[in-house]
Structure 1
Amino acid sequence: MDGKGLEQHGREGADGSIGAPAGGTGSALMRKRLLAAGLVVILLVAVGIGLRIARREKPAGQSETGPVPVEVMAVERGEVKRVVDITGRVAPEVEVNIIPKVPGRIRSITVDVGDRVREGQVLAKIDDAELVAALHNAEAGLAVAEANARIAAAALEDARRNLDRMKQLYDAGAVSQQQLEQAQLNYDRAAAGVAEAQVRQARAAVEAARVQLANTVLTSPVDGVVTARFADPGAMAGTTQPIMTVAAIDQVQVQVSVTGDDINRLKAGQEVPVQVSAAGDQDFKGKIARISPAADARSKMYPVEITIPNPGHLLKPGMFAEVKLATEIRRDAVRVPVQAVLDKEGRKVVYVVEGGRARERRVETGIADERYVEIISGLRHGERVVITGQEFLADGAAVTVTGGAGKGAKS
């Protein structure tokens, strides 16, 4: 074989040998790609594990972007009330049924439901024709009795004078004992004939007739409002059924029922906030007027009566009232806002801000009202407790105080 053959053979060999080495090069490339993919997977797994470890090491409740923003309030001393909410109904202080004292036909009615009336104001009149006639008859009877009394009095005077004269004549021996005794008898008869009793009786009859006549005019016994009307002019009125009702509502009352556990904690004169939704959003100030010493036989609850000034008559009989009875009052209690106290698995806890971190503190609570809860133990006066954002916290979480209330809240 010549040199060209060898060279050609060498090229072919080179060309032919390209196939075998090419296959080896492809396998190497595949291995490189698999190796790179494996490294990526390992890197991702490592990153994931690192993030998970980081999360576990990060205090619970801490924001991904930094400390948790919170608002705080300094623990303070002040009043806390234990309040019992009870529902009652508004009732008039005085309610009077207007019932005629004499029967008869109603001549007129001068007021209607909703009208305000004054004490002594005329409300209605009953026909008085028969009673006017009865009064005239009684007055005539009195006149006759008085006339008879005058005649009897004159006869008595004559008898007295005659008796005096007969005594003088008897002493002088001019008349007999029998004549003197007859003069005495005439005097006694004249004295018995004086009709003083008849006059008194006649006068009583006149007075009774006048009272009956006056009773035909029905007046209001109180300042108040006509709350009901049951009759019209022309109707017959009796002496047992009312023709209208008048209620005094310048001051109203609410009666509520209290348990035996609370009744001895209340005092007459104690101020009581009252809300009546039908009368608007304002709070009304009432006072405990009466506390029953005995429980109701059926409910076993103790009635308590609360009076409320009502000059504008906003409170009307029948409205529902929400009464807030303070059964316990702590005047100088250590207190925090109610929202500061959390319930964790039956434990009462708060978060206290110390050195930029929230520290969980277990507390013992006492009585509470709508705004504050009494702290019996676990906090000191002046410490800063979290009142907003506490639901995102855990013990040791970093916090940023963004606001608050009370002395030292932002310090």
Structure 2
Amino acid sequence: MKKTGTIIILLAIVVLFTGAMYWLWSKNSEDPIVYTTESPTTETIVKKTVATGSITPKEEVLIKPNISGIIEEIYVEAGDIIKSGDLIAKVKVVPNVNSLNSAKNSINGAKTSVETARLALESQRNIYQRQKGLFEKGVISANEFDQAQLSFDQAQQRYNQEKVGLQGAQQTFEIVKTGTTRGMGASANTEIRATVSGMVLDVPVKTGNQVIESNNFNDGTTIATIADVDKMIFEGKVDESEVGKISENLPLEITVGAIENKKFDAVLDYIAPKGVSENGAIQFEIKGTLAKKDTTFIRAGLSANASIILEKAESVLAIKEALVQYDSKTKKPFVEIAIGEQEFERRDVELGVSDGLNVEVKSGISKEDKIKVWNQLKAPPSFGGQG
């Protein structure tokens, strides 16, 4: 029994000794941690937010007819440059039966009134002639003659007015029937003319299409869309989380997907006071006017992105955001500066503008300092007889 106990104790000692040796060997075989360093650089840091949208004309005018009918001829096409007053299209009127009958009745009524006024004028003329003869013979007084002359003049005036009314009724009938009348010239309702100068962006109708006039109850059919393409704006939307960071008159950098390697300067001049819900998020409309100095032709409707520049620091001392640490208690930023081989000391720093990757350092370090990188690296394995 004694011998068996001794053997067990010896085996236990051997196992414990072997385990201890293995643990020491494993501990010594671990590679030491090596920290690399980086130096500050001189950068231009821009803090910005991005809005998506499109390029549209600042002022877009819709040309609509003043009379309903059918497009008889179109004189322009999209892309044409036109001036105010240029002929765009011609409309053939399809008269409304009720309006036509009403116009005819107005003519008949005006003719009756003219005939009645003519008969009254003839009667007053005869009375005037008789009174004139009697006055010349001294039979009647001057007052009686003056009254006869006044009545004759009034009858003449009423007759002339009724003739003008008949002429107006006839012109109204012609306009209802054909859309124009003699003497209207360029103001004829059937001739659709440009109200502004610019480029024709769209002609959504074709010859033979029926169009509706613009009135108080209907917007009317758009015959052409005209805009000044030298005055373009960016229209986009920003999320509610970003709208509080922006303000009017901030600079914009516009990039258009269809125009590569080109940026356009603009100024933010409108932020919607009310947001709109889209896909569960509140979006606010913004507008920015593009600078006139750029001569590149931008087609209306092209999709674009606008970088809204919130802050900008040019040629400043900067480091990567990943190098900055924050004190757990004070929450103040600091970095660790190399003072020897894998030896570092803490330096508090004052930070400025950040773009999410790089951050401006206002004070605390110099360009010659070596800053500790917190990504730990294993020491390279050693060869050549070392165990």
Q: Same fold (TM over 0.5)?
A: yes
CA 1:338 to 1:308, structure 2 compared with 1: closer, same or farther past 3 Å?
Answer: farther
What is the TM-score when the length of structure 2 is the normalising length?
0.58
Whole-angstrom distance in 2 between the partners of 1:309 and 1:367: 26
Identify which of 284, 295, 312 aligns with 1:302.
284
Residue 219 (str. 1) matches residue 200 (str. 2): no
Whole-angstrom distance in 2 between the partners of 1:122 and 1:181: 56
Residue 368 (str. 1) matches residue 354 (str. 2): yes
Residue 323 (str. 1) matches residue 287 (str. 2): no
Identify which of 58, 68, 84 aligns with 1:103.
68
Q: Is the 8 A contact 1:87 1:321 kept in 2?
A: yes
Please give the root-mean-square deviation of Cα atoms over the aligned residues, in Å: 5.5
Q: Is the 8 A contact 2:353 2:360 kept in 1?
A: yes
Whole-angstrom distance in 2 between the partners of 1:385 and 1:85: 34
- The amino acid that maps onto 1:90 is I
Query: Displacement of 1:349 after TM fit?
Result: 4.6
Whole-angstrom distance in 2 between the partners of 1:286 and 1:224: 22
Q: Secondary structure at the match of 1:287?
A: strand
Q: How many aligned residue pairs are there?
A: 316
CA 1:241 to 1:235, structure 2 compared with 1: closer, same or farther past 3 Å?
Answer: same
- The amino acid that maps onto 1:117 is I
Q: Secondary structure at the match of 1:280?
A: coil
Aligned positions of 1:191-270 closer than 5 A: 193-196=158-161, 198-199=163-164, 202=167, 205=171, 209=181, 210=184, 214-239=188-213, 240-258=220-238, 263=243, 266-270=246-250
Gaps of 5+ in 1: 1-44, 63-67, 395-411
Q: Is the 8 A contact 1:349 1:363 kept in 2?
A: yes
Q: Secondary structure at the match of 1:278?
A: coil
Query: Displacement of 1:303 after TM fit?
Result: 2.4
| 1:73 aligned partner | 41
CA 1:234 to 1:177, structure 2 compared with 1: closer, same or farther past 3 Å?
Answer: closer
Gaps of 5+ in 2: 1-20, 214-219, 378-387
| Larger Rg computed on CA atoms | 1
More helix by share: 1
CA 1:263 to 1:118, structure 2 compared with 1: closer, same or farther past 3 Å?
Answer: same
Q: Is the 8 A contact 1:156 1:194 kept in 2?
A: no
Q: Secondary structure at the match of 1:286?
A: strand
Whole-angstrom distance in 2 between the partners of 1:300 and 1:163: 90
Whole-angstrom distance in 1 between the partners of 2:148 and 2:197: 66
| 2:13 aligned partner | none
Q: Is the 8 A contact 2:255 2:306 kept in 1?
A: yes
Residue 287 (str. 1) matches residue 255 (str. 2): no
Q: State the identity as a percent.
A: 17
Identify which of 22, 27, 48 aligns with 1:83.
48
Q: Is the 8 A contact 2:45 2:312 kept in 1?
A: yes
Aligned positions of 1:5-404 closer than 5 A: 60-61=34-35, 71-73=39-41, 82-113=47-78, 115-120=79-84, 121-127=86-92, 174-175=139-140, 180=145, 183=148, 186-187=151-152, 189-190=154-155, 193-196=158-161, 198-199=163-164, 202=167, 205=171, 209=181, 210=184, 214-239=188-213, 240-258=220-238, 263=243, 266-296=246-276, 300-309=282-291, 312=295, 314-327=297-310, 329=311, 336-339=317-320, 341-342=322-323, 349-350=334-335, 352=337, 359-363=345-349, 365=351, 367-369=353-355, 372-375=358-361, 379-380=363-364, 382=366, 384-386=368-370, 390=373
CA 1:381 to 1:225, structure 2 compared with 1: closer, same or farther past 3 Å?
Answer: farther
Query: Displacement of 1:272 after TM fit?
Result: 1.2
Whole-angstrom distance in 2 between the partners of 1:231 and 1:261: 43
- The amino acid that maps onto 2:206 is D
Query: Displacement of 1:187 after TM fit?
Result: 3.5
Q: Secondary structure at the match of 1:195?
A: helix
Q: Is the 8 A contact 1:250 1:309 kept in 2?
A: no
Q: Secondary structure at the match of 2:58?
A: strand
Query: Displacement of 1:260 after TM fit?
Result: 5.8
